[in-house]
Structure formats: structure tokens, C-alpha cells
Chains A and B, each alone.
Chain A
Amino acid sequence: MKRLLPAWLWLMPFALVFVAFQMAPLGWIAVSAFQVEGSWGLGHFQEIATSPFFRQAIWRSLEISLVSSLLGLIIAVLACHSLTRTSGPLRRWMIAFTNMTSNFAGVPLAFAFIILMGANGVLTLALQRVGLIDDFSLYSRTGLIVIYTWFQIPLGMLLLFPAFAGLRADWRDAASLLGAGRVAYWCHIGLPVLRPALAGTFTILIANAMGAYATVYALVNTSYNLMTIRIANLVSGDLFLQPNLASALALILVGLLAMVTLIQQWLLRRSHHVAER
């Protein structure tokens, strides 16, 4: 390559595209969020902080993300634990199936849930007939939590299974030889070993839910108030376009995601210190 052109020149096309279509949009958001009618200011953040409508969007995003991540994590933990105790063929088959369902996301997922649990959905009608539910709406908070939890389960399982597979059987045997029961084993060995994986997975699930847009948009269009829905509506809605306000809200979303990651890192570091002592 030496004879043709200076080597670093081969990096330029990539750098150009990456800067123009990934970094520059982020830079534009970071700048325009602080631009109020041509001058610098925190006006957009003030507007968001004082508006009940935007505060509701932030609160609901956090609520749905936390609840669905927690439910998804619990189900994924139970499933992974049981998977380590099942036979090899069933385990491999189930992991392949989980991988398959993790590809099922976005708009198709919303449509599948409308078929299953919409107003005239197969499951809705069946459960109504049995008398288990009387008024379930897929387009409500409960409905969204159900669908979010559904797409968190396969992701959680795929991220957690390697950690569960790393729990060695001889640790359990050693613990039980020393007189530890099942509870003591999990308190002193199982959970401490799994803790980094659990914390990391929980963070990824929260980020996944906070940034989710396609499923909820296909399901409720703009009628459920969430951060991603508001951001999109401010730049591509039918009424007033307020790109600078959208930037401020987008920056708050990125800030919240960064905060979740930092808290997780901090907790992880603290647990290492405890372990070292």
C-alpha cells in the first residue's frame, strides 16, 4: 500500500461517513439543545422540567423500563437456572429458539401482539371466556408492560445464560459438603458470582426499554406518552416542529442512559472492594 498513497488516507472515507452520519448528528443535538431563539440558554430544559406533559413522558418511560426490565430479568433468571438443570438437547434447542425470538422485535412484534392480545385477540377472547380477565387493553400501561417484558425475556436469557453455565457443579458439592443448604449456597456463592452479570444485564435491559420506539409506535402511534414518542413527534409530527426542544429531550434520554450505566459501574466497583476486604 506504501507505494500507492499514504496509508492513513485509506481511513478517510470511513472517517468521513462515520463523522457525518453518527457523530455530527449527536454534536448537533448537544449544541441545539442549548440554543434558545438564537442564543445560549437552558430554556428548553426549563420547559421540559415545568411541563406536566413532558414530566409524565419521562416518568412513564422510566416506569415501564424499570418494571419490564425487572420482570424480564426475574423470568430470565428462572429460565436460565432451569436450563442449566435440563438435558443437553433440550437446552441447545431452547437456546436456539430464544435466539430466534430475540430477532422478533419492532413493528412485527406489535402486530403479533395485536393478533394475540388486541381487543379481539385470540388470547384475550379465550381468557375472557374463562373469566380470568374482563377488561384488558393492550394499548394501556399494563399492555405495554406485557409486550416490553416479552421482548426483554429472550435478550435477558441470552445475556445471562453464559454466566449461569459458568456456575460449576463442584462449587455446589463443596458447599453442601461443608454443610451449606440451598439458601446458604445461593446467598454466599451463587448470587455473588452472578452479580456482575445480573447488574450488567439489568442495565442493558433498561437501556433497551428506554430507547424502544418501533413497537410502541406501531401499537399506539403517539397516543401513549413516552420519551421516545415525544422526541419523534417533536421532529416529525404533524403540528409544531420544535427540533431544539426534541434535542433537549433526546439529551435527557442519553443522560438517563449514561446515569444507569454509571450507577451499575459504581455498584460493581463497590462490590469488588467488599470482596477484596
Chain B
Amino acid sequence: MSQNADLTLSRPKAPALPTLRLPRLSIHTLVVGGVFTLLALPLVATLGYALATSWGATLLPDGLTLKWFLELWSTPRFQLAFARSMLVTLGALVLSLVLVVPVALLAHTRYPRLDTWMNGLVLVPFAVPPVVSSVGLLQLYAGGPLPLVGSPWILIFTYVTIALPFVYRAVANSLRTIDVKSLMDAAQLLGATPFSAFFLVILPNIRIGVQVAVFLSFSFLVGEFVFANMLVGTRFETLQVYLNNMRGASGHFTSALVITLFLFTLLLTWLGNRQSGHAIAKDANA
């Protein structure tokens, strides 16, 4: 860990800086290095544990190995949990796009007041803690005409509502960058139906915004635990619930699981940021 801190500390010394400001700079670099160390500690320790053959009462692990990762990835229960998480997350994202894109389109073209409304509505899932929502969801859908509790469906529908802030804002923002009305009119003048004009002209134009929303909400939904555990639990075990149920397992095994989940989230966030980077580059070129 001290090696890490040294790395960051030595970094800013490389560029030639005015000698007068150097002492003050190093204090600030020290603070940044300290906070970095603080934030990196749990991650580094978990990574070390996941790669260690054994790590007893010593400061450093005895040896390095990939066997915990290989063991995890070949566990059928992990593979199933992974597949279930993908199913629920992809289902929720597809459904939320199908539901939200028409709303964003109409808010942009026909009902400007609707946009104000939606901007207020998207705050609700942010403001209400998941524990609170799940109290109501459990009572409403445990029995009665829609007994969804315990099935993946309730997760899909609930995830649609909590992904709404990301999805709506991203779609609405990308619609703002194009002239929807002229594009629709032009396509229809050339003989397209409103439907094909939407799918062949509007949708390709907002594709990047939609992709950014998908990647960001994907990583957010894969990390969701509260709804998954309270509404469904072991009846449809997703990745986070699986991790929680593995608390009795070897620390090396769970560390490999934690690192795997974290790397997966990082990959999705990176893909999302890369897409938005492309969008900015494209705008700058235009």
C-alpha cells in the first residue's frame, strides 16, 4: 500500500514547475495522496486477498494465484446468478427504453409542459430510499390480482422506475441536439410513415445518447441489492444476493467475487464514458 502512495507522490514532480511554488504544491499532493490511499485501501486489500494463496497473520500474502477466480467462474451457482442478473437488467433496460422514448419524444415535440413534469418525476426514485419503496411493493404485489413478489417480473418493473432518471435525461438530452420536427417532416415528405420515420431517422440520430444511458444504468442496476433481496431473494438469486449469501464462504472466494463484480461495473462505466466521449468529439467536429 505504501508503494501505491509513493507512486502518486512522485508523479507530479515530473513536470517542470516554478521552484517558488513547489513546497506548497507538495503539501496538496500529500493530501491528495492521503485521500487516494484511504480510498484505495479496501480495494487493494480485496484484490490482494483474491489473488493470495493464503494470507494469514502476515503483512503480505504468502503467494499469488488465480485459482480463486477460476474456481468462482466455474461455479454453476455463480454462472446462474450472473445469467439471472443479465436477464433482469437487460429486460428492465429494454422495457424502460420502449416506455420512455415515446414520452421523451412527445415531451420534445408536442407537450413542452410534459418535460417539466418528467424532470420532477425522475427525482422521486432518487429521493425515496429503496427500503421504503419495497415496503409498499411487498404489500401490493405479495398476493391479490398481481402476485409478482418472488418472481423476476417485479424486479424488472421496479428497475424500470429506478433507471428512469438516467434513461429519461439521456434520451431527452440527445433529442435536444437534433431537429426532430424537420427530420420527421422531411422523412414523411419522402413517403415514410411516422413509424418508419421514427425508426429509420430519429432513432439512429439519438443512438449514442441511448447507449450512454444503457451502459450507465446497466452498471447501476447490476449493483442493486435492496430490491433484489427484499422482493425476490433466493427465489431468483441475482449476483448481489448471491454475494450476500456467500458470507460463510472462504474470504478468498468472496474477494474474487467482489473484484469480478467491480471490474464488470468498471467495464460498463468505461464503455458508457467512451460513448459520451465519442458524442462530444462528434459534436465538436460538426
Contact = CB atoms under 8 A, between A and B. Distances in A.
Interface of A: 1-4, 7-8, 10-11, 13-14, 17-18, 20-29, 32, 75, 78-79, 81-83, 85-87, 89-90, 94, 97-101, 103-109, 111-116, 121-123, 125-126, 150, 153-154, 157, 207, 210-211, 213-214, 217-218, 228, 231-232, 234-236, 243, 246-247, 250, 253-254, 257
Contact of A235 (B95, B138, B158): B138
B138 A236 contact: yes
B223 A106 contact: yes
B32 to A, nearest CB: 5
B66 interface: no
B12 A18 contact: no
Given A18-B161, A109-B42, A75 B102 contact: no
Contacts of A29: 132, 135-136
B183 interface: no
Interface SS of chain A: helix
A97 B29 contact: no
A111 B137 CA distance: 28
13 contacts: A10-B106, A85-B28, A101-B39, A107-B244, A108-B223, A109-B42, A115-B251, A150-B38, A153-B39, A157-B35, A218-B225, A231-B131, A254-B128
A129 to B, nearest CB: 8
A235 B24 contact: no
B164 A250 contact: no
Interface of B: 8, 11-12, 15, 17, 24-25, 27-29, 31-32, 35-36, 38-43, 45-46, 48-49, 55, 57, 59, 95, 98-100, 102-103, 106, 110, 114, 121, 124-125, 127-140, 154, 157-158, 160-161, 164, 194-195, 219, 223-226, 229-230, 240, 243-244, 247, 251, 254-255, 257-258, 261-262, 265-266, 269
A111 B32 contact: no
B72 to A, nearest CB: 13
B200 to A, nearest CB: 15
Contacts of A97: 36, 39-40
Contacts of A22: 124-125, 128, 133, 161
Given A101-B39, A115-B46, A78 B223 contact: no
Given A3-B194, A28-B140, A100 B266 contact: yes
Contacts of B243: 107-108, 111, 218
Contacts of B223: 103, 105-106, 108
A107 B219 contact: no
A217 to B, nearest CB: 8
B219 A103 contact: yes
A111 B258 contact: yes
Closest 3 CB pairs of A and B: A25-B136, A211-B129, A82-B28
Contact of A79 (B35, B57, B100): B35
A154 B157 contact: no
Contact of B11 (A10, A83, A89, A246): A89
Contacts of B229: 214, 217
B29 A82 contact: yes
Contacts of B43: 101, 104, 112
Nearest to B242: A107
A218 B138 contact: no
Contacts of A82: 27-29, 31-32
